[in-house]
Amino acid sequence: GNSVTQMEGPVTLSEEAFLTINCTYTATGYPSLFWYVQYPGEGLQLLLKATKADDKGSNKGFEATYRKETTSFHLEKGSVQVSDSAVYFCALSDTGGYQKVTFGTGTKLQVIP
Amino acid sequence: DGGITQSPKYLFRKEGQNVTLSCEQNLNHDAMYWYRQDPGQGLRLIYYSQIVNDFQKGDIAEGYSVSREKKESFPLTVTSAQKNPTAFYLCASAPLAGATNQQFFGPGTRLTVL
């Protein structure tokens, strides 16, 4: 079956530091890949997505590139802010008729001033 | 504004009681989902529905029940058979047809069993 593995947290960074959160996946076919963000006490929000190999998703300074050869979708940001503190989930979605989404376990990011 | 609403935000239940969590969407989405989130774990799928009057079990359906009588509504009942119901519950919806398969999430309901 499908699976998503992402680095365990928490990840603690100083403001303006560079962020990388690793994500690798196992899937058959050609899944779509996502990063969702969850702020404390809230639901998940889509941060960015990529639907085919070599696509780069980007939003709010975050980027991730769909690497089929390494089955990875690492999240990066050049300069984090305190407001980026949240839990980040990597996910993939089947391209079949039922759009089941498989989530990673989440990585908590803490940015300190 | 289009979106997904869940109510209540916080819910307390005594052991042995059934409780129903509400989920409503006005996005005209065909598919709706219920997930359970526990600390340090990802989201686990409880039930999903692709059309009205039809729903399927997810990975952890035991002790839960759902209905889909209207396209906009997908309530989840946590029954007394669920052995460890304290968790954060998330409802989501998605267009059934679409290239991105993105899901849209509600704000969640935190259920605590006393």
Q: Pick from B108, B100, B105: which is nearest to B27 by CA?
A: B105
CB contact under 8 A, B100 and A105: no
What would the pLDDT profile of B55-102 be if each residue is shown by its tens digit?
999 999 999 999 999 999 999 999 988 889 999 999 999 887 655 668
| 3-class SS string, A32-97 | EEEEEEECCCCCEEEEEEECCCCCEEEECCEEEECECCCCECCEEECCCCHHHCEEEEEEEECCCC
B97 → chain A, closest CA residue:
A97
Q: Both ends of chain A: CA-CA distance in Å?
A: 41
Structure tokens at B112: 């605590």
CB contact under 8 A, A32 and B100: yes
| Chain A residues with CB-CB distance to B96 below 8 A | 99
B44 → chain A, closest CA residue:
A103
Model confidence at A98, pLDDT cuts 50, 70, 90, reads low
Residue B87 to residue B109: CA distance in whole angstroms? 8
Model confidence at A101, pLDDT cuts 50, 70, 90, reads confident
Structure tokens at B96: 């059934």
- Tally DSSP H helices, then E strands, for chain B: 0, 11
| Residue linked to tokens 């519950």 | B89
What would the pLDDT profile of B31-52 be if each residue is shown by its tens digit?
999 999 998 788 999 999 989 9
Q: Pick from B24, B20, B1, B10: which is nearest to B88 by CA?
A: B10
What B50-56 contacts at long range (C-beta under 8 Å, 24+ apart), as own/partner pairs, is B50/A98, B50/B96, B51/B96, B56/A98
Model confidence at A41, pLDDT cuts 50, 70, 90, reads confident
Position A97 pLDDT exceeds 70? no
Instruction: Write down the pLDDT at residue A12.
Output: 97
| Chain A residues with CB-CB distance to B42 below 8 A | 4, 89, 103-106
CB contact under 8 A, B42 and A51: no
% of chain A surpassing 70 pLDDT: 96
B41 → chain A, closest CA residue:
A105
CB contact under 8 A, A103 and B105: no
Residue A71 to residue A50: CA distance in whole angstroms? 13
